[in-house]
Structure 1
Amino acid sequence: MWLEIFLASVLGYVIYWFVSKDKEETLPLEDGWWGPGVRPTAREDESIRPFKVETSDEQINDLHQRIEKARLTPPLEDSRFHYGFNSNYLKKVISYWRNEFDWKKQVEILNRYPHFKTRIEGLDIHFIHVKPPQLPSGRTPKPLLMVHGWPGSFYEFYKIIPFLTDPKNHGLSDDHVFEVICPSIPGYGFSEASSKKGFNSVATARIFYKLMLRLGFQEFYIQGGDWGSLICTNMAQLVPSHVKGLHLNMALVLRNFYTLTLLLGRRFSGLFGYTERDVELMYPFKEKIFYSIMRESGYMHIQCTKPDTVGERWGRPGSADLLHPGVGGRNTAHRLLFVVPLHVALRVAFRFCFPRKFSLDDLLTNIMLYWTTGTITSSQRFYKENLGQGYLAQKHERMKVYVPTGFAAFPCELLHAPEKWVKFKYPKLISYSYMPRGGHFAALEEPQLMAQDIRKFVGLLERQ
């Protein structure tokens, strides 16, 4: 009798283990066409074309005229940035932008790395591809795809690239030397925007996977933050056999038991697997999470619902572009108060929040990549396509990732993700680092720290 009970128990446990065991699902790869009209019957041109960033005097003159017409509302006394972007500080930014910022010089900096374009799924995809200037004898570089987010660009990676492609000349060992590919998300900067609805992070991941194949890479590393973290996660869910390793500095991991422990985590941190550092970064909960999300996520809500409304401006170019409440009888909750370039600048700059680790030239260069290409609206649509359907509406949000993963937890990230949270979504997490400083735009703010953590992750993975 006892033997039968024992055998039944073992059998029950085995059945439970198989039923409850996580299935290593993959997303269907599928295909798409995002160009205008119907898909042509002819085969798509797969050539890779050199590209050069260029600008014109007409563009610069038009920009200057629009900046000069800006009409700002005085801030409240002692309000700092509590009511939004402080217009007294904005005057300084405008003055620098108009009188000192040298866009042509920045264009030369942008062209220091090789740029290319290629057509994938009906869209011209822009990317930079930076190879090591020198390699140790008998070595081959490790291909690394790095993906930006909003309102960032490929330019975010300009400072980290030398640490990855030429580490020996930048104070690091040459144990790991990478060749780096940084594409622009379609609808951002020099990558063509989709003409059709539904272009989300999964479609982007598939296009970037095709890009890597077109460049001759069957296996590669990927890295991302912000939207880049989701796009890279989706790539690992689509083609895990091609992704050697996934490195993130942001993780969307809200679907697990641990997020329900936030209210109790400070008192029972050990029970829920929180370290002292986790507690420091997450509590007091009301200030560091609840209030922070409420204060800083307004842009997200409107871009998830009405991206074209906030992206466009009213008025005719070159004429009455100064917008003011009530102009033209338009009564709307979102009256834009600035000419187009200032609207772009505000949306980009407010998300960047002016960290001390990068200059106005860095910020304005990033803004100009949106302004000169006219992509602020198409970039904002990415929010509606990914988040506009509701919470956990898409399959990939409910799936785990079974690719070796490294995570860099920067202390000033929008929302701290403890190791327990990350490991739930990424069970093959092999590296988790509490970074000493830095925030959301980590590759731009702390390029050496980020490069060191990527190298650490790759080293741990290759020693396994």
Structure 2
Amino acid sequence: MVHGWPGSFFEFYKILPLLTEGRDGLVFEVICPSIPGYGFSEAPHKTGFDSIAAARIFYKLMQRLGFKEFYMQGGDWGGLITTNIAQMRPENVKGLHLNFFPVTKHNLQMLVSLLLGAYVPFLVGFTREDVKRIFPYFKKNVYEMLRESGYMHIQATKPDTAGCGLNDSPVGLAAYILEKFSTWTDKQFRDLEDGGLERKFSLDDLLTNVMIYWVTGSMVSSMRFYKENLNGNPEKRPDAKIGVRVPTGLAAFPNELLHAPLVWAQPRYKNVISYSYMLRGGHFAAFEEPELLAEDIRQFVKKVEK
């Protein structure tokens, strides 16, 4: 299981016992590594360390731990890293489960579905739930992403400038990180005085995640991961040209930053055997709704193992 930003391996503490203790005849041995440059994993010393480089390291990690075949789960950057492993080493990946799978390659099919989807969804492969989550498109996608993606532009262009300031101020670091755990959990929390932080998390858990960044001084290197991955056209990356053919399970949480219908995901993920509209939850699925995510993982693995 691989985390993203501004998360850490600690996101998985609540879901671990739900997977490692036997349920429905399934028992998992779970590996939760930190992305290099995050938390206690040493930061890269050379430029060019992107998700593909992280995927190579994590694949080698699994080999050295003795796992020749394994399932993978990821969200945020973890979703991209695990996708890259599935692309590079499909013979070793029994299945891939994702709770974040944004569409990066836009095509005519996507344009047509946006034009017609709100009126005749069945013609473009949308379900009623897709329509509910996507439309009105400009408000729920373009406008919301403009409001929420300022950090991405900073981290993709000047990560060291902002990162050094955050590494020097515990209050600034906490504010920068916790704001994401507010609005990325539920956009409506943006209008609450306390940001709704304690509606889904405890302050102890939130501050534990912040402390992992603070005591390791890893904010700069974690932010730099954006620059390494977003320094060019994402559609021209090597991994953008290769489909994922391993069995794939997709969990679409209603408060995720962007909703990707199955019909949009299938051009990249060629073998989707499970697509779930989750009842509740946002970007930090394992941290926020561990029971729901664990159950979806189990159901996905059952389908693969049949």
TM-score of the superposition, structure 1-length normalised? Answer: 0.61
Could you tell me which of 274, 278, 281 is aligned with 2:126? 274
Distance in 1 (alpha carbons) for counterparts of 2:305 and 2:273: 11
CA contact (8 A) 1:233 1:401 kept: yes
Partner of 2:17: 162
The residue type paired with residue 213 of structure 1 is: Q
Contact 1:256 1:421 in 2 (8 A): no
Deviations 1:53-75 (A, max 9, x none): xxxxxxxxxxxxxxxxxxxxxxx
The aligned counterpart of 1:350 is: 179
Among 263, 287, 304, which residue is 2:156 paired with?
304
> Rg: which structure is higher?
1
Contact residue 307 and residue 381 of structure 1 kept, 8 A: yes
> Using the alignment, how far apart are the partners of 2:90 and 2:270 within structure 1?
13
Pair 1:211 & 2:61 matched: yes
Match of 2:146 among 294, 319, 325: 294
Q: What is the Cα-based RMSD across aligned positions, in Å?
A: 1.4
Residues 255 and 398, structure 1, Cα contact 8 Å, conserved in 2: no
1:256 Cα deviation from its structure 2 partner: 4.3
Structure 1: where are the runs of 5+ without partners? 1-145, 168-172, 314-335
Aligned pair count?
Answer: 290
Instruction: Compute the displacement of 1:350 (Å).
Output: 1.4
1:355 is displaced (CA, Å) by 6.6
Return the structure number with greater strand share: 1
Matches within 5 A, 1:59-70: none
Distance in structure 2 (CA, Å) of the matches to 1:246 and 1:419: 15
Structure-2 residue corresponding to 1:408: 251
Q: In 2, Cα distance between the equivalents of 1:359 and 1:387?
A: 33
- Cα distance in 2 for partners of 1:259, 1:312 equals 40
On the 8 A contact 2:174/2:210 being kept in 1, the answer is yes
Residue pairs, 1:350-369, within 5 angstroms: 350-353=179-182, 354=197, 356-369=199-212
Check whether the contact 1:157–1:443 (CA below 8 A) recurs between aligned residues: yes
Higher helix content, 1 or 2? 2
SS in 2 for 1:356: helix
Within 5 A, what are the aligned runs for 1:20-419?
Answer: 146-167=1-22, 173-257=23-107, 258-260=109-111, 261-313=113-165, 340-353=169-182, 354=197, 356-419=199-262
What does the per-residue CA deviation read over 1:291-317, in whole Å, with 9 as the maximum and x for residues that have no partner? Answer: 11110000001101110011012xxxx
Task: Please tell me whether the aligned partners of residues 263 and 285 of structure 1 are also in contact (alpha carbons under 8 angstroms).
Answer: no
Q: Is the 8 Å Cα contact of residues 154 and 182 (structure 1) preserved in structure 2?
A: yes
Q: Distance in 1 between matches of 2:120 and 2:157?
A: 38
Task: Work out the CA distance in 1 between the residues paired with 2:26 and 2:47.
Answer: 41
Structure 2: where are the runs of 5+ without partners? 183-196
1:438–1:446: 8 Å Cα contact kept in structure 2? yes
8 Å contact 2:50–2:225 — kept in the other structure?
Answer: yes
After TM superposition, what 4+ stretches of structure 1 lie above 4 angstroms from structure 2?
Answer: none
Deviations 1:149-182 (A, max 9, x none): 0000000000000000014xxxxx3411100000
Deviation at 1:349, TM superposition (A): 0.9
Identity %: 60
CA distance in 1, matches of 2:21, 2:37: 31
Name the TM-score, length of structure 2 as normaliser.
0.92
Structure 1 residues 442, 461: CA separation in 2 closer, same or farther (over 3 Å shift)?
Answer: same
Question: Offset at 1:454?
Answer: 0.3
Measure, in 2, the Cα distance between the counterparts of 1:191 and 1:339: 20
Shift of residue 259, structure 1, vs aligned partner: 2.9
CA distance in 1, matches of 2:176, 2:50: 21
